[in-house]
Amino acid sequence: MVVGHERFTIFATSDEFGTLDPSFMIPFAPPRIDDRTIQAVTDALRSGWITTGPRTKAFEKHLAEYCGVEKLIALNSWTNACELALRWYGVGPGDEVIVPAYTYCATANIVMHVGAKPVLVDVLDDFTMDPEAVRAAMNQRTKCIIPVDIGGMPARVQEIMRVAEEACAWFTPAVNLRIGGSNPQMRLGRALVLSDAAHSFGARIGGKPVGAQADITGFSFHAVKNLTTAEGGALAFHLPEPFNAQELYTWFNTMSLHGQSKDALAKTKPGAWRYDVEAPGWKCNMTDIQAAIGQVELDRYDSETLPRRKAICERYHDAFAPDERFIAPLLKDENRESSYHLYMLRVPGASEVDRNVIIEAIAKRDVSVNVHFLPLPMLSFYKRFGCRMEDYPYAYIHYSREISLPVYFDLTDAQVDTVIAAVKASVQEVLG
Ligand SMILES: Cc1ncc(COP(=O)(O)O)c(C=O)c1O
């Protein structure tokens, strides 16, 4: 029996050490850990360098090549990486940041952390942010827009970039801001588009990998993600001139390490102990142990991970798309293709209560499913903050019917068929 949600899946265990008994049930999203991963971590441990070092730097370079950007920085989570991006852009009290109502809490929490106000907008049928709702929410306080690639399907980032550009006449930059010797708000002259690509590493927009479309793209390498480093994240920089990718990298690298002018590796060079701190930074660097896991994941991402995830989603699609009791998720259109992170099925005939009962019925069949996500206005904090679910009808209706099915590399075709049978039988049992 399994109790699961995105961040913590509690497995029934076969012994006191918590070893997963694979015959017992179908879990939701276990990571792929095999001898190659274990060897890479062992090598990192034996190398004598376990914090940020050569493995992290190589991983960053390879990620940047994959995404088609000049520079990318690997950090310890999406949350800390994207919060740092807001701080770099000088977003703070009095400012507004537009986020979709339908997302994981991290997207809005980082806005709260910097003292700005998250402004929620509704989503479209593919679960992603509605660019027209963004347009309507823009005003002179808007400093940033965070579209979210839910389930791996890219948001309409290019349309949202256009909305930001069209609204540049209203943009009111903070005048006294100095970040790394210049004022990024004055330089960009419009709201920053910070893409929440926590789910969408390897997804495509216009045939190109996600990362080189928004101003800054934030990835998550959390344990359940398509590409994991156990915990981790990255920022891909794609800011227009006169921004300089190397300067951006240097600022983020320094500020992810307390604002120190030298990182630990640089300080170990003979005689190079002295450093300075020009601004009090944060602490959110990636370790070489994490990068070692990530590099193995990246090396086999296009050849193994993505094709397997796609094949699983297509098998679900063949079963659910023709069945009128279900709405199959959009995974591809003429411009965008998902990273196949989640298979977000909907049951249109179900109320929220029915959906919850269906999930219990599926769990009784030893299949772990999930719901992505509880919209922000349903969370106590955001309710107290004044967000009302009735203002985001699409977010609510999508959420109330949604069931995410297991998608992960080691899921076999036979297990996919077991999931399909469990879902169909459960829906039949509850809705007749
Ligand atoms: C949409 C979304 N954004 C951001 C995050 C935060 O990522 P991290 O755990 O790497 O901070 C998550 C994590 O699950 C997420 O689902």
Proportion of the chain above pLDDT 70, given as a percent: 94
Which range, of 37-51, 111-125, 172-186, 323-337, averages the lowest pLDDT? Answer: 172-186
pLDDT of residue 273: 86
Q: Is the pLDDT of residue 63 over 60?
A: yes
- Asked if residue 373 has its Cβ within 6 Å of ligand 1, the reply is no
Encode pLDDT of 8-35 as tens digits. 333 333 333 334 445 458 999 999 999 9
Q: Give the residue-averaged pLDDT of 81-95.
A: 98
pLDDT for 7 beyond 50: no
Average pLDDT over residues 196-201: 98
Q: What is the pLDDT of residue 181?
A: 86
Ligand 1 within 6 A of 210 CB? no
Residue 281 confidence class, pLDDT cut points 50, 70, 90: very high
Please name every residue paired with 9 in a beta bridge, in sequence order, or none if there are none.
4
Contact criterion met (CB below 8 Å) for 341 and 406: no
pLDDT at 187 over 50: yes
pLDDT recorded at residue 238: 98
Rounded distance from Cα 380 to ligand 1 centre (Å)? 19
Overall average pLDDT of the 312-330 stretch: 98
Taking CA atoms only, the protein residue closest to ligand 1 atom 1 is 104
206-220 pLDDT tens trace: 999 999 999 999 999
Identify the H or E element spanning 317: helix 306-320
pLDDT at 233 over 80: yes
Distance 104 CA to ligand 1 centre (A): 7
- Look at residue 310 in the predicted model and tell me its pLDDT: 98
Say how far apart CA 201 and CA 198 lie, in whole Å. 7
**Cis ω on the peptide bond leading into residue 242 (within 30° of 0)?**
yes
What does the pLDDT read at residue 263?
A: 83
Q: Could you tell me if the CB of 106 is within 6 A of ligand 1?
A: yes
**Residue range 59-87: mean pLDDT, rounded:** 98
- Residue at token pair 């890479």: 40
Kind plus residue range of the DSSP H or E element containing 40: helix 35-47
The CATH number assigned to the domain with range 3-28+304-431 reads: 3.90.1150.10
Q: Is the dihedral of CA 317, 405, 127, 209 positive or negative?
A: negative
Nearest to 305 by CA among 201, 365, 226: 226
Residue to mutate, 79, 128, 342, ligand 1, most ligand atoms under 8 Å from C-beta: 79
In which residue ranges of the chain is CATH 3.90.1150.10 found? 3-28+304-431
- Give span(s): CATH 3.40.640.10, the chain: 36-297
The pLDDT of residue 270 is 83
pLDDT digits (tens, 9 = 90+) for 414-423: 999 999 999 9
Give pLDDT tens digits for 362-387: 999 999 999 999 999 999 999 999 99
Q: Under CATH, which architecture does the 36-297 domain have?
A: 3-Layer(aba) Sandwich (3.40)
Distance, CA of 300 to CA of 34 (rounded, Å):
12
CA dihedral (254, 258, 261, 264) positive or negative: negative
What tens digit of pLDDT does each residue of 136-160 get? 999 999 999 999 999 999 999 999 9
User: Which pLDDT does position 73 carry in this prediction?
Assistant: 98
